[in-house]
Amino acid sequence: MRADRLVAALLLMQARGRVTAAELATELEVSVATARRDLEALSTAGIPVYPQPGRNGGWELVGRARTDLSGLSAAEAQALFVLVGPAAAGNAEAKAALRKLVRALPETFREAAEAAAGAVVVDSARWGQELHERPRLVELLQGAVVRRRKVRLGYAKKSGERSERVVDPLGLVDKDDVWYLVAGTADGQRTFRVDRVVDAVVTDEEAVRPEGFDLADAWEGVVAKVEGWQTLTAATVLVRERHVRVLRGQFGRHCVVEGVEGGVARVRVSAPTPLMVAQHLAGWGALVEVVESDAVRAELARLGAELVARYG
């Protein structure tokens, strides 16, 4: 893409002060003519890039303006590449962009940045399982977010009911291999599971992005709302301390140890409904005692009666 070459060319000039078309062509792996056209395009776009004639000439920013990759310190550069490195794995375009960014860094930063980029490998597949593939529409929606284009979504709710709407895509979130699209709609900001998107068409209409919108802040709001739903019913149970880890595996952050006495832990667990709490606890049998929440005890009794009636 020409856009990434122009960015890389500008970063190189910021790091080195002056480059020739031949040097730029070598760095970006393009022809000298292409490199020269890119430099001319930067100048035409209003960036203060001008050719300097003479034996030691080349192209440079006015006043020999130089920054260390937008003012990054060595520690900041390392932190950036620790994050970017794993994301580039298996993506040829991302790896190419990473190489160009490394070359744009001052020489004193390069070795540490390269080491940081290769310091972490992300393998999201559990032992004995295949790697989860991203939903096929993630890249299309990501492109719409970057280009700021409205998307016509065909969406299926959990109940199976389908609908179609035009949305303003604001960002994508990968939460434990489940992808979500945060988008603006006629009814306000909404969150859509990408695996429930039946089809998506990117339109030519410019998307509306709220001023000051921050995806991380927006997602925190979504998480807080969902967490609120998941804590509507709470129960206090007694369980042997050694079993708390297993109980926490079922309830996650909605499992809080309130105290331990004589090897028995007093634990508060929660879920959206009494039935859902009971369903988690039913398999424990007598290993867990519910001491608070009549509603959960009633659901456990009902589930027990159903099992006795079925299996005697």
pLDDT tens digits, one per residue of 134-144: 677 888 898 88
pLDDT of residue 298: 94
Structure tokens at 228: 């609120």
Q: What percent of the chain has pLDDT over 90?
A: 29
Residue-range domains of the chain with CATH: 2-64 (1.10.10.10), 74-117 (no CATH), 138-210 (2.30.30.520), 231-311 (3.30.70)
What does the alpha-carbon distance between residue 225 and residue 228 come to, in Å, rounded to a whole number?
Answer: 5
Beta carbons within 8 Å of 2's beta carbon, 6+ residues apart: 38, 41
Task: For residue 105, give Cα distances in angstroms to 12, 236, 241.
Answer: 8, 56, 52
Provide φ and ψ at 51, rounded to 5°.
-80, 140
Q: Terminal CA-to-CA distance of the chain, rounded, Å?
A: 69
pLDDT of residue 231: 67
pLDDT tens digits, one per residue of 206-219: 999 888 888 888 88
Per-residue pLDDT averaged across 237-244, rounded?
A: 93
pLDDT of residue 136: 78
What does the alpha-carbon distance between residue 221 and residue 212 come to, in Å, rounded to a whole number?
Answer: 15
Per-residue pLDDT averaged across 272-283, rounded?
A: 90
- pLDDT surpasses 50 at 67: no
3-class SS string, the chain: CHHHHHHHHHHHHHHHCEECHHHHHHHHCCCHHHHHHHHHHHHHCCCCEEEECCCCCEEEEHHHCCCCCCCCCHHHHHHHHHHHHHHHCCCHHHHHHHHHHHHHCCHHHHHHHHHHHCCCCCCCCCCCCCCCCCCCCHHHHHHHHHHCEEEEEEEECCCCCEEEEEEEEEEEEEECCEEEEEEEECCEEEEEEHHHEEEEEEEEEECCCCCCCCHHHHHHHHHHHHHHHHCCEEEEEEEEHHHHHHHHHHHHHHEEEEEEECCEEEEEEEECCHHHHHHHHHCCHHHEEEEECHHHHHHHHHHHHHHHHHHC
Structure tokens at 254: 């909605």
What does the alpha-carbon distance between residue 195 and residue 181 come to, in Å, rounded to a whole number?
Answer: 10
pLDDT tens digits, one per residue of 261-276: 999 999 999 888 899 9
User: In which band, very low, low, confident or very high, does the pLDDT at 1 lie, cut at 50, 70 and 90?
Assistant: very low
- The amino acid at 2: R
pLDDT of residue 66: 46
Beta carbons within 8 Å of 13's beta carbon, 6+ residues apart: 19, 49, 59, 60, 61
Structure tokens at 123: 């393998």
Structure tokens at 158: 């959990």
Count of beta carbons in the 10 Å neighbourhood of residue 132: 12
